[in-house]
Amino acid sequence: MPESGNTYKIVNHKNGTALDLSGSDGVSVTGWDSHDGDNQKWTLNEEDGLWVIINVATGKFLAPEGGDEGNSVVGGEEPFQWDIRNEGDDEGLWRIFVPHSHLNLDLDSQGEDDIPAGARVQLWGQWAGDNQVWRLEDGMNDLIHHLPYSELSK
């Protein structure tokens, strides 16, 4: 399981893009080419077996725009709890579900095999697609580069 309070980059298993909160509108969440920006870093906090996912750059919460299949996932103002489950036997792969639901984070492939950077993230019913599977990469190492020198020496 992830470590509560740790910061991660959430990377799609199918195309390697990172969960990215738009720097333009501060709301849209897409799969984007991985970079060192804080808008691609997310702090995961466990609460009673569920997880709140918070963007490092803005403090916004990863949340669906509604509870239906096809609803976009966005940076929201209110906390939302997610159910993070291991994908099969692979310890490094995860699915991120709406609790008590078959709906999980889905990088919108629009039925195509090749998913371009900038594809929106949505809720979709679980199926065997790798566009619904995510890796949690340590985001703390990248954060060190953004701290002032005075903070590093503490």
Domain ranges within the chain, ordered by starting residue: 7-152
pLDDT tens across 3-56, in order?
Answer: 999 999 999 999 999 999 999 999 999 999 999 999 999 999 999 999 999 999
pLDDT tens across 93-107, in order?
Answer: 999 999 999 999 999
pLDDT tens across 76-94, in order?
Answer: 999 999 999 999 887 899 9
Predicted structure pTM score = 0.89
State yes or no: pLDDT of 143 exceeds 60. Answer: no
C-alpha distance from residue 50 to each of 122, 133, 147 (Å) = 19, 18, 30
Which residues are within 8 A (CB) of 117 and not within 5 positions of it... i.e. 6 or more apart?
A: 15, 17, 30, 31, 32, 33
CA distance 137 to 40: 11
Q: Tally the C-alpha atoms within 13 A of residue 88's C-alpha that lie toward its C-beta.
A: 10
Confidence of residue 141 (pLDDT cuts 50, 70, 90): low
| Fold annotation for 7-152 | Trefoil (Acidic Fibroblast Growth Factor, subunit A) (2.80.10)
